[in-house]
Amino acid sequence: MNPDSLARVVPGISSLETVSENSFISSLNIKIGPVSSTFSGKLQLEHIVEGNSFTLNTQQNSKIGNANASLQIKLAAVEQNQTEVAFDGDVKLSGMLASMGQRIIGGVANTLTNQFFNNLQNEIAVPAKL
């Protein structure tokens, strides 16, 4: 839930500015198939159940279209020092993203998901600074 950690974990974030508690203005650089673009918009953490779950809502705009996404993330303790992360989400695209998205969105979603979990693993592997 830390903004600095979020910026390191969420793929493509080049800046994340806190607007209010759990609300941010973001800038993302994302490559989607043959097209890359900078997206800007809002990122909001909602329905937070500390240590168990939260919803990440984002509305991002770019020259090639807009993306609105809602991701529900659930955490469950498995063993000592192990947590299972489950997620589900919905994305709505408009503009050129929507027209090309039908063909490539699955691959892009898988790539971004893998980047997220690799970034998360790297983030939690770093010892906390006192």
Q: What is the tens place of the pLDDT at every residue in 46-100?
A: 999 998 999 999 999 999 889 898 999 998 989 887 888 898 988 888 888 777 7
Cα–Cα dist 118/9, whole Å: 8
**Ranges of each domain in the chain:** 3-113
pLDDT of residue 54: 92
pLDDT of residue 80: 82
CATH architecture observed for domain 3-113: 2-Layer Sandwich (3.30)
By C-alpha distance, which of 75, 84, 82, 34 is closest to 53?
75
Q: Could you give the CA distance from residue 97 to residue 72 in angstroms, rounded to a whole number? A: 23
Beta strands in 1-130 (DSSP E): 13-20, 23-32, 35-49, 53-62, 65-79, 82-94
